[in-house]
Chains A and B, each alone.
Chain A
Amino acid sequence: MLTPLFTVVSHSPAETEKAGEHLADKLRGGEILSLLGELGSGKTTFVKGLARALGVNPREVVSPSFVIYSVYKGAHLELYHVDLYRLEKMDHQLELEVFEAAHNGAVVAVEWAERSPDIINLSKYIIKFEAPSEDKRIVKVEEQQP
């Protein structure tokens, strides 16, 4: 079951980052976040805000599309930044790594989670990104009860 948590209508990357910072206040470690939305809708920008709030320099956060995932050390928590974009066919080893990281207390943000129904099912937060126009983004954050 999904409960709406908050929705941000953003007009700039800075506002999208703020949405990420806002959600970070709720995180205690061990949560999987599924980020859903098309190319250029603000997913990596949102993770930059999340990272800043967790004590990671957002400058270090870049798209992990190529390496599939990056790990950042925050002040108290580790942040896994995963990107399934390049995987048209899901890699089960990678799904296990995502679950293991969360089990070990990391915050795991998964871009292009559409590629893995299992990751979406086990996510605490579902974040949907829409881009109705070039300079407008809608970020909907929902909490999922198991």
Chain B
Amino acid sequence: MLLAIETSCDETAAAVFTNNGKLLSDIVMSQDHLHARYGGIVPEVASRRHIEVLPAVVKEALHKARADMSAVEAIAVTVEPGLMGALLVGTSFASGMARVTGARLIPVNHLEGHLHAPFVGSEPLYPFVGLVVSGGHTSLYLVRDTGEYTLLGSTRDDAAGEAFDKVGRILGISYPAGPRIDRIAKEGRHDALSFPRPMLNEDSFDFSFSGLKTAVLYAVKNGALSTHSLADIAASFQEAVVDVLVQKTLKASEQTGVDRIVISGGVAANSRLREKIQQEATSRGIEIVIPPLRLCTDNAAMIGYTAILRLRTGRIPSEFSVSPRSTFL
């Protein structure tokens, strides 16, 4: 059996798989309610909470899988990227457990996990163009096989989810702003205001959302909240983000000749992104693969699943360093 542990940010998660990849249990404990009081994630609060709840979360995952620690032959753990202190809790716990039980330790990159999230419970479908888009990441990859990743582009400044959070603050929408903007935008017109689509026409797969955030700030400073409804501003901003994500991802598919697209990460839960990429792809004969909502956000199932794929190919990263870098692969 394989136990997977994920503590890179503010979800404490554990999952248990059989050796041949059947998911037996998948527990996620969110800290959202704790951090909402502070208007964002507080690293020390996150680390302490992981320390408090990780043992119980692991116990629960094993209990649900009707397994005990002696049956665990491998422990997969997220080693990067993420919040340093939060990662250290998971990796220390996993290392200690591996040392005591003799289980094999498998370091997993969080982004590699996200790229494989939609395939948990089945076989991965290679090759694909993968967009990982969340509060901390906006990266586009060409994935040819397990362990064969090419970074096509990534954000030059803010991640897409970060733009949602910051614009949320400009508009007075509280944390976590992503799902709230999504909901409010449903009542608005997405062509009410014209916001820039940064880097859309540049010949690169890189993204930039900092200028868009500034454009919203100036629209608000210039009185947009009195001339337009909050819903119109939210919808117009969201449309600009979604347009850039969709167009760049489609372009990557076109240029690489790979007609399967995976979209994963917290922002993949955005309903307008899901709707628009699906529309655009269907007309082009491109297959869109998006994980169910619970696998879009951070979880341990995607970490365990990636470890099993790695075990199969025998390509286990040998280095084991915990790092807070926001890009990797």
Contact = CB atoms under 8 A, between A and B. Distances in A.
B224 interface: no
B217 interface: yes
A94 B325 contact: no
Given A67-B81, A68-B43, A87-B38, A39 B214 contact: yes
Nearest to B212: A40
A59 B218 contact: no
B43 A63 contact: no
B155 interface: yes
Contacts of A62: 154-159, 326-327
Contact of A39 (B42, B44, B81, B217): B217
A88 B40 contact: yes
Given A62-B158, A65-B158, A91 B43 contact: yes
Contacts of B85: 93
Interface string B204-216: 0000001101110
A64 interface: yes
Given A63-B162, A93-B85, A40 B213 contact: yes
A interface majority secondary structure: loop
B156 A59 contact: yes
A99 interface: no
Contacts of B162: 63, 65-66
Contacts of A123: none
B83 A68 contact: yes
Contacts of A60: 327
Interface string A18-62: 000000000000000000001110001000000000000001101
Contacts of B214: 39-40, 131, 134
Interface residues of B, number: 39
Contacts, number: 86
A67 B327 CA distance: 11
Contact of B44 (A40, A64, A86, A91): A91
B208 to A, nearest CB: 10
A70 interface: yes
Nearest to B206: A59
A93 to B, nearest CB: 5
B188 interface: no
B41 interface: yes
A92 B166 CA distance: 23
A89 interface: yes
Given A39-B213, A62-B327, A134 B218 contact: yes
Given A39-B166, A39-B217, A67 B210 contact: no
Interface in B275-329: 324-327
A67 B45 CA distance: 14
B136 interface: yes
A62 B135 CA distance: 13
B83 A93 contact: no
B170 interface: yes
A36 B301 CA distance: 41
A63 B242 CA distance: 20
B55 interface: no
A63 B43 CA distance: 16
A70 B81 CA distance: 11
Given A39-B217, A40-B210, 17 more contacts: A39-B170, A39-B214, A40-B213, A40-B214, A44-B210, A59-B156, A62-B326, A66-B137, A67-B81, A68-B43, A85-B166, A86-B40, A86-B41, A86-B42, A88-B40, A89-B42, A91-B45
Interface of B: 38-45, 81-85, 135-137, 154-159, 161-162, 165-166, 169-170, 210-211, 213-215, 217-218, 324-327
Interface of A: 38-40, 44, 59-60, 62-71, 85-89, 91-94, 131, 134
Q: 5 smallest A-B Cβ distances: which pairs?
A: A40-B214, A86-B40, A66-B136, A88-B39, A63-B158
